[in-house]
Amino acid sequence: MIETAIKLANITFSYDAEEPQLKNLSLEIEKGECVLVTGASGCGKTTLTRLINGLIPHYYEGELTGELHLNGKNARELEEWEYGQQVGSVFQDARSQFFTSNVLDELAFASENYGLEAERINQRIEAVMKQNQIDYLKKRKLAQLSSGEKQKVAMGAVEVHSPEIFVLDEPSANLDNQGNAQLAATVKQLKQAGKTILIADHRIHYLMEVVDRVVYLAKGEVKAQWTIDEFRQLSKTALHSFDIREKQEVYISELLREENREPAFLALQNLTIGYHRLAPSLIKDLNLTLAKGEIVLITGENGLGKTTLARTLCGLNKEQAGSININGQMQTAKKRREKCWFVLQDADYQLFSDSVLNELLLGTKKTEENLVKAERLLKELNLWKLKDQHPATLSGGQKQRLVFAVGLMREPELLILDEPTSGLDAGNMRRVQRMIVDYANKGITFVIITHDLEFAKGFGRRTIQLEKAVSSKLQPSDLAVFK
Amino acid sequence: MKKSIDPRIQFLLLIVQSVLVLCAGMGQLILLNVFALFYLVYAGLYQTACKMGAVIATTVALYGYMLLSDQQWVKFLGFLCFLVLRFGPVIIMARVLQEVPTGRLMAAMQSLRLPKNFILTLAVTLRFFPIIKMENDTIQMSARLRGLSYSQPRNWLRPLQVFEYTFVPLMMRTMKIADELTASAMTKGIDCPDQRTSIYQTRLTSKDLILVAFFIGYMVCIFTFNFLEV
């Protein structure tokens, strides 16, 4: 007999009695099954994961009707703390899912809460660390780990307590291809151990070998379901119509290419950079030229200095050696700050004002001319009808467009984007792509840092991979790789 | 590997030290600072010890110069020296407390039979300081790009406004992180009413007791005999 691990029957949920996030949703997941839930932003994926791990209704309140059974038990009879014994959760943002400050404590945390004996916890930790090959992290502090390592520890922390059901909410958002592959391997191990796994994610290519079933949500309802075999058969156009991301992994080798377009607008000569002037150099002797209106994508592992490069380009850091020229003139850090704009991965850091319109006008002179310009930009980016709202009330995509608009308001010549697609669905990803291409055609040069290769591929432009090395130099061959 | 001092002992020393700092004279204050530096070295925080040592040595030197000089503006600096020397020992000892792994801290607090809510609040608060610092750094960075940071002289004329601009995003981020942290902890059974266990031993070691004995001896000495009469 096949047992059901998760059974949702006619679930309807709304956070604030408005439009329900989940509508009459019914779904059964068998024991030992691995299910991928996907769909556009706001389709109810996260709400579904919160329902299963008990955060709804115990932490996020709202109106809930319908029945949820976990391992045959009605969830209504569960106390809020009892969920955690059956369901382990992994979240998107590593910074905010760790309660403790070092790896060992985090691994032990859940088991300690449930009162397991110390000896038993230590045994479990040893076993999990061995299985996931994270022994070497045992004594490290969480703050020093890379995103990939943090995600591994987050998975490990759940495994130590060994619940029957695993719920993963966008675990791949901050990972590169290598990190994704490791995550997939861990999920595979769990599946072999007979665990039930539900993964909600936009990026799906890395899971193609692991999942048994794909569930497509739209507006809080299950719109379609495929077994993995059926899903593999789906055509590209079908996927496109569902706004689902690529099934196939995009390899970096498909993207790398070298083109030198003249005349050079931005030229880096023997540029050497580091966290600050006296810190060890991260990138040495970098030579690179960009033409006006060019889009360049920079990819590579974490910790190689991608963000430092971006900070140096836009004048937040001073260069250690070499020079940065725009239109043939050397630019000091102060001048660069006026000519460049940097869009961070998380828009919350860059919004300071009390309304969308004021955000654009902040720091500019309040002239008629600026007002007209702000209005034009907001209309172009489809934000005009939100002009009186507080920036904090916008959705993630809207916030990102607003930061973009703030940058455009200053008429920058160079725009730098850091991971613009983390957590975006296919539709929104293409929208960002179109927006960038539009403005590049108007003469703004773009440098985009990303490890989302599918996004990079969509441009078909120059892509550069940073590699770990003492000195980096552009190879004259067709591969634009820093060796 | 850093030597770990039992968190209970650390709290005890921190509290006693804070009280002593308030009733110490200048000569005793300097000796309290010296103790705090040795405490840093004992805890294995050599880099911090060097930095703080330099700060305190400079302050003491400045204080000495101030006593000899009779120019008025130098007297004003005396107030700053006074502040550094008063707060130094407490800040240094609190710094060591930050190095304690969260799990160990919670286990130690629990053995004192403190209420669970108090322990959790304390653990989260200590863990939150570095997060807030990191968040603030990122916000200051984008503020600089926008021309809203204190590093630009034109903003010195409107400090309140600039503070408001950068404080709002910090609040937003902190609230978001606190919310997610709570959610994450809830899925890990933080509300479980059973007695919490710990992978850390909570027995006091002889080393801890020696440290306390040394501390008490040192304090008695510097308060009975005024070594540095200044």
> What does pLDDT average to over chain B?
86
Residue A337: list chain B partners with CB under 8 A: 144-145
pTM over 0.90: no
**φ, ψ (nearest 5 deg) of residue B38:** -65, -35
State yes or no: cis peptide before A57, omega within 30 of 0: yes
| C-alpha span between A479 and A281 (Å, rounded) | 24
Annotated domain spans of chain B: 1-101+201-230, 113-199
CB contact under 8 A, A157 and B180: no
Residue A168 CA to its chain's centroid (Å): 14
Whether residue A110 and residue B189 make contact (CB cut-off 8 A), yes or no, is yes
The chain A residue lying nearest B170, using CA atoms, is: A349
What is residue A121's predicted lDDT score, i.e. its pLDDT? 94
CA dihedral (B8, B14, B20, B22) in degrees, to 10, reads -140
CA distances from A278 to A142, A273, A400, B48, B65 (A): 26, 10, 33, 19, 33
* Residue B86 near residue B21, CB atoms below 8 Å: yes
Residues 6 or more apart whose Cβ sits within 8 Å of residue B118:
B109
The answer to whether the CB of A43 falls within 8 A of the CB of A222 is: no
pLDDT value at residue A476: 34
Based on its alpha-carbon atoms, the radius of gyration of chain B, rounded to whole angstroms, reads 22
Tokens standing for residue A88: 């382990």
Q: Are A401 and A382 in contact (CB under 8 A)?
A: yes
**Calpha distance A207→A228 (Å, rounded):** 10
Instruction: Place B229 in a pLDDT band, splitting at 50, 70 and 90.
Output: low
Asked if A419 and A443 touch (Cβ cutoff 8 Å), the reply is: no
From the candidates B120, B167, B184, B198, which should be mutated to test the interface with A, based on the most A CB atoms within 10 A?
A: B184
- Asked if B185 has any chain A CB less than 8 Å from its own CB, the reply is yes
pLDDT tens figures, A324-374: 988 888 888 888 888 899 998 888 888 888 899 999 888 787 788 899 999
Could A85 and B177 be called an inter-chain contact, meaning their C-beta atoms sit closer than 8 Å? no
* B158/A contact by beta carbon, under 8 A: no
With beta carbons less than 8 A apart as the criterion, state whether A273 and A472 touch: no
B227 in helix, strand or coil?
Answer: coil
- Region A190-194: what's the mean pLDDT? 93
Q: Which CA distances in Å does B224 have to B85, B157, B220, B221, B227?
A: 20, 51, 6, 5, 9
CA neighbor of B59 nearest in space, from B81, B82, B32: B81
Asked if the model's pLDDT at residue B204 lies above 70, the reply is yes
H-only helix segments in B6-115? 7-23, 26-42, 46-68, 72-98, 102-111
User: ipTM for the complex?
Assistant: 0.84
Q: Hey, of A86, A92, A101, A313, which one would you mutate to test binding to chain B, going by the most B CBs within 10 A of its CB?
A: A101
Would you state the pLDDT for residue A259? 64
Instruction: Say what the pLDDT of residue A482 is.
Output: 39
User: Could you give the percent of chain B with pLDDT greater than 90?
Assistant: 26
Cα-Cα end-to-end distance for chain A:
57
Q: Which residues of A touch B138 (CB under 8 A)?
A: 344, 349
Q: Which two tokens stand for residue A209?
A: 């070998």
Q: Would the CB atoms of B187 and A89 count as touching at under 8 Å? A: yes
Cβ-defined contact of A104 to B192 (cutoff 8 Å): no
- Per-residue model confidence (pLDDT) at position A36: 95
What is the model's pLDDT at position A230? 93
Angle between helical axes of B116-146 and B102-111 (0-180°, round to 10): 150
Contacts of A138 in chain B (CB under 8 A): none
Phi, psi of A294 (to 5 degrees): -85, 150
CA distance A230 to B40: 63
Residue in A closest to B185 by C-alpha: A99
* Residue range A157-185, pLDDT digits in tens: 999 999 999 999 988 887 888 888 889 99
Residues 188-207 of B with CB under 8 A from A: 188-200
Q: Cβ contact (<8 Å) for B190 and A122?
A: no
Among the residue ranges A299-308, A394-403, B35-44, B120-129, the one predicted with the least confidence is: A299-308
The answer, yes or no, to whether residue A480 has pLDDT greater than 50, is no
For A95, the closest chain B residue by CA position comes to B177
In 3D, which of A361, A357, A416, A410 has the Cα closest to residue A386?
Answer: A357
Q: For an interface test with B, give the residue of A105, A111, A308 to mutate (most B CBs within 10 A).
A: A105
* A133 phi, psi to nearest 5 deg: 55, 50
Nearest chain B residue (CA) to A307: B138
The rounded distance, in Å, linking the Cα atoms of A240 and A238 is 5
Probe site for chain B from A61, A79, A81, A174 (most B CB atoms < 10 A): A81
Phi, psi of B203 (to 5 degrees): -80, 140
Confidence category of residue A258, pLDDT binned at 50, 70, 90: low
Per-residue tokens: A453: 């290769």
Q: How many residues does chain A have?
A: 483
State the number of CA atoms in the 13 A half-sphere of A49 facing the CB.
Answer: 27
The letter for the amino acid at A362 is: L
Question: For a pLDDT cut of 90, what percent of chain A falls above it?
Answer: 34
Of B165, B181, B184, the CB nearest to A352: B165
Q: Cα–Cα–Cα angle for A66, A69, A75, nearest 5°?
A: 80
Give tens-digit pLDDT for A292-329: 888 988 887 777 788 888 889 988 888 888 889 888 88
pLDDT band per the 50, 70, 90 thresholds, residue A103 = very high
pLDDT confidence of B227, banded at 50, 70, 90? low
C-alpha to C-alpha distance for A300 and A453, rounded to whole angstroms: 10
Q: Which residue has better confidence, A289 or A10?
A: A10
pLDDT of residue A477: 32
Mean pLDDT of A404-429: 87
A471, pLDDT greater than 50:
no
Q: Which residues from B are below 8 Å from A140, CB to CB?
A: none
Cβ–Cβ of B181/A99 closer than 8 Å?
Answer: yes
How do residues A221-257 score in pLDDT, each as one tens digit? 999 999 999 999 988 888 888 888 888 888 777 777 6
Tell me which residue in A97, A362, A363 faces B184 most closely, judged by beta carbons. Answer: A97
Euclidean distance between CA atoms A221 and B55, whole angstroms: 63
Size of interface A-B (CB pairs under 8 A): 160
* Nearest-CB residue to A114 (from B135, B146, B189): B189
| Residue B133 in contact with partner chain A when CB distance is under 8 A | no
Q: Is B149 left (phi over 0), alpha (psi -120 to 50) or beta?
A: beta
How many other C-beta atoms lie within 10 A of the C-beta of residue B92?
26
CB contact under 8 A, B187 and A100: no
* Burial status of residue A3 (CB atoms within 10 A of its CB: 0-12, 13-18, 19 or more): exposed
Coil, strand or helix: which one is A355?
A: coil
> E-strand spans in A327-432?
329-330, 340-343, 414-418
pLDDT of residue B228: 62
Q: Are A187 and A229 in contact (CB under 8 A)?
A: no
pLDDT score recorded for residue A470 = 41
Here the tokens at position A276 are 């600050």
In degrees, to the nearest 5, what angle opens at C-alpha A51 toward C-alphas A49 and A56?
125
Question: Which residues from chain A sit within 8 angstroms of residue B173, using beta carbons?
Answer: 346, 348-349
User: What is residue A483's predicted lDDT score, i.e. its pLDDT?
Assistant: 29
Is the predicted pLDDT of residue A261 greater than 70, yes or no?
Answer: no
pLDDT for B1 equals 39
The nearest alpha carbon in chain A to B180 belongs to A96
- Place A473 in a pLDDT band, splitting at 50, 70 and 90: very low
Residue A90: what pLDDT? 93
**Which chain B residues are within 8 Å of A355, Cβ to Cβ?**
none
Taking CA A81 as the corner, what is the angle to CA A75 and CA A82, rounded to the nearest 5 degrees?
50
Give pLDDT tens digits for A107-159: 999 999 999 999 999 999 999 999 888 899 988 888 888 878 888 899 999 99
Distance from CA of A236 to the nearest CA of B (A): 36
In single-letter form, the type of residue at position B224 comes to: T
- Using the predicted structure, report yes or no on whether residue A463 has a pLDDT greater than 90: no
Q: Which residue has the tokens 């497509």?
A: A216
Mean residue pLDDT of chain A comes to 86
Q: Which chain B residue has its CA at the smallest distance from A339's CA?
A: B145
The distance of A305 to chain B (nearest Cα, Å) reads 16
Q: Which helix (H) or strand (E) holds B121?
A: helix B116-146
Number of H helices, E strands in chain A: 18, 19
> What's phi and psi for A121, nearest 5 deg?
-60, -45
Measured distance CA(A64)–CA(A238) in Å, rounded: 33
- How many residues does this entry show for chain B? 230
